[in-house]
Structure 1
């Protein structure tokens, strides 16, 4: 599934707060930390099967209200932090929706089988030569 940033923006809500880190005196004045909240169950972008898959795979990312939460406070700008948070959400959702390919078990080749059986015959002959014959 290809997630469109514009469609996703309509269903995202943000909370901002003051952030620590770089920014000097600006840190104390401007709310640059962004907390992105996204409701999977309330989304119209995903089918019911996709919602179940997302709920199963992202259960560790839910807050107490059942919303997916992504926090970013890396940049000095609130706008850049919002962009980074949206990108992280898109990566999170696409990775959760990715279905791994079913592994097709490999078969042992005919040459490998013959080589193994040849080694078994050699080993068997070696052990048979060690055997003493008793005449009763």
Structure 2
């Protein structure tokens, strides 16, 4: 896991929801911005992978952004935003393992055919016979 929190920039805004008068006068919502292309922590291949997997979250200027307004304090929202953006980027760097194609074994094939035969016999016995 790479911690690139030094490259993040923050914006604050008024958040909605619970908080009473505090909501109307204190900017507690935090938007975290990160310029993917200008990062020194990742090489070009990793940047391309991040941009491909997170293309829906990256705007036209190349910024990955995330807004958090879960808590009533700006500091807690900032910490949550840092955690979330680092988690999102690290998950996007994971390359899924390719599935190796395998054939079913003879025992598995035989078991499937035996089960089909038993079910067929059970249904055959239910039929009305003259």
Question: What TM-score results when the alignment is normalised by the length of structure 1?
Answer: 0.76
| Corresponding residue SS for 2:26 | coil
Measure, in 2, the Cα distance between the counterparts of 1:78 and 1:90: 18
Q: Specify which of 23, 31, 47 is matched with residue 43 of structure 2.
A: 47
| Corresponding residue SS for 1:61 | coil
**Unaligned stretches of 5+ residues in structure 2:** 115-130
Match of 1:95 in 2: 91
**Unaligned stretches of 5+ residues in structure 1:** 120-136
Alignment of 1:27 with 2:26, yes or no, is no
Structure 1 consecutive aligned stretches of length 4 or more whose deviation exceeds 2 Å: 110-113
Alignment of 1:107 with 2:103, yes or no, is yes
1:64-103 equivalent positions in 2, closer than 5 A = 64-103=60-99
Q: Specify which of 17, 27, 32 is matched with residue 13 of structure 2.
A: 17
CA RMSD across the alignment: 1.8
Count of paired positions: 113
| Corresponding residue SS for 2:48 | helix
Measure, in 1, the Cα distance between the counterparts of 2:73 and 2:87: 21
Q: CA deviation at 1:63?
A: 2.1
Greater radius of gyration (CA): 1
